[in-house]
Amino acid sequence: MPIELSRRPSPSRAMVYLSPLLALGITLTAGMVLFAGMGVPPLAALHAFFVEPLSNAYGWAELGVKATPLLLIAVALAVGFRAGVWNIGAEGQLTLGAICGGGIALLLWRSDGAWVLPLMLAGGVAGGMAWAAIPAFLKTRFNTNEILTSLMLTYVATLLLSLLVHGPWRDPDGFNFPESRIFSDAATLPVIWHGTRLHLGLPFALALAAAVWVLLARSLVGFQLKVNGQAPAAGRYAGFSERATVWFCFALAGGAAGLAGIVEVSGPIGQLLPAISPGYGFTAIIVAFLGRLHPLGVALAAHLLALSYLGGESAQITLNLPLAVTGVFQGMLLFFLLACDVLIHYRFRWRGYGRGRGRIGRGHGGRDGRGRGRRGHGGRDARRNLEPNPAAA
């Protein structure tokens, strides 16, 4: 091919920020091709997917509702990813947070004290941290791959929730449906926008993003995390504990995911169901990388991916498209983001560009790319040696 990838002398700072925008543009283009292949007008589909959900105030409030768990989880995962700790099981930690916090709500179902909700939130955080402690222990004690252990525990958590809502926690007045009791008013997050479902969880998420920014940019702990992630050998030489880094990152991500779980069940859902998340824990991984592992970027990416959930529901209603279109869009965005990230370290160039410079005169008696003969390599000096010498004659 006439075009090839050549390594940059140093990573491109511009492409670090342009890569997500480029990936988003390619995703939209690929989405239009996908819609056209499904027999749906591409522009109408994009309008239903990205514009129609935000056509009124209720839609903007729903955007905040969907972005809340994504932001809570992704901003904590970004800390671990910066430190080289790969927690892929945030979905399971979200589920355990919902189970622990929801269990407190069911236990105190008849209580109307103001302390019920804070106790539920604390229980959710503790549940997520406890579930995240399992892969952290296996990693630090037996050097087990944290990607596999955290991911597999997600399915254990989902089955545990299903067992509870089909069994001991099933609502006795729920006509045998697999769901818990509706939480009491004391166990429900207050709404902050009247007439919508936007709840107190969004300020929690924004506060966590601000706290993580301070942690990474203005604290010694943040510096240690970045050093351990970018140069583990330098971190060990400086005395930074890798075990402490693993435990800290898993505890932070697990606690944030657990908080997201209890916020979901005490906010828009209001009870425990067999499925309480459409995959927020996995989508948060895309959010973290799309936001360049920076709290501000993660906050923007969380709202973009939240819009994809709303757009999928809108396209299903308006254009009768399958809800799986949401997952397709999210998958394409991650794929194209990873592909575009190659341009941070590499760049395109025409094959053979600049290769002829200095090659002709090197060792063949010619001239180099600057038009000067190379001495000592058979160039102009070599020809001078071949000329007859009159004095010698």
Question: Whole-angstrom Cα distance, residue 189 to residue 263?
Answer: 7
Strand, coil or helix: what is 4? strand
Mean pLDDT, rounded, of the chain: 89
- Residue 7 is given by DSSP the state E
Non-local (6+) Cβ contacts of 302 within 8 A are 67, 70, 71, 74, 205, 284, 287, 291
Class of domain 8-345 as given by CATH? mainly alpha
Give the pLDDT of residue 30. Answer: 95
pLDDT at residue number 386? 45
Q: Is 191 helix (H, G, I), strand (E, B) or coil?
A: strand
- Residue 241 reports pLDDT greater than 70: yes
pLDDT-derived band at 3 (thresholds 50, 70, 90) equals confident
What string of DSSP letters covers 67-117? HHHHHHHHHHHHHHHHTT-----HHHHHHHHHHHHHHHHHHTTT---TTHH
Average pLDDT over residues 159-170: 96
pLDDT of 377 > 60? The answer is no
173: left (phi over 0), alpha (psi -120 to 50) or beta: alpha
For the cut 80, the answer to whether the pLDDT of residue 365 exceeds it is no
Query: What value does the mean pLDDT take over residues 302-316?
Result: 94
The residue that leads in pLDDT, 225 or 358, is: 225
Three-state secondary-structure class, residue 55: coil
- Locate the domains of the chain by residue range: 8-345
The span from the CA of 211 to the CA of 171, in Å, is: 39
Given a cut of 60, is residue 34 above it in pLDDT?
A: yes
Res 387 pLDDT > 80: no
Predicted confidence at residue 374, as pLDDT, reads 45
- Pull the structure tokens for residue 230: 């970018």
pLDDT per residue as tens digits for the range 243-280: 999 999 999 999 999 999 999 999 999 999 999 999 99
The answer to whether the Cα torsion of 124, 126, 127, 128 is positive or negative is: positive
Span 129-141, average pLDDT: 98
| Reported confidence tier of residue 353, pLDDT bands at 50, 70, 90 | low
pLDDT, position 240: 93
Q: 216 and 209 in contact (C-beta within 8 Å)?
A: no
Q: Which residues of 351-381 are buried (b: 16+ CB within 10 A; e: fewer)?
A: eeeeeeeeeebeeebbbbeeeebbeebbbee
Structure token digits, residue 248: 């800290």
pLDDT at 371 > cutoff 70: no
Residues 40-59 have pLDDT tens digits of 999 999 999 999 999 999 99
Residue 321, CB half-sphere, CA atoms under 13 Å: how many?
Answer: 29
Give the C-alpha separation, 367 to 362, whole Å.
8
pTM, rounded to two decimals = 0.86
Question: What are 62-117's pLDDT values in tens digits?
Answer: 999 999 999 999 999 999 999 999 999 999 999 999 999 999 999 999 899 999 99
The whole-number pLDDT of residue 380 equals: 47
Name the residue with tokens 């709500």: 105
HSE value, Cβ hemisphere, 13 Å, CA-based, for 223: 6
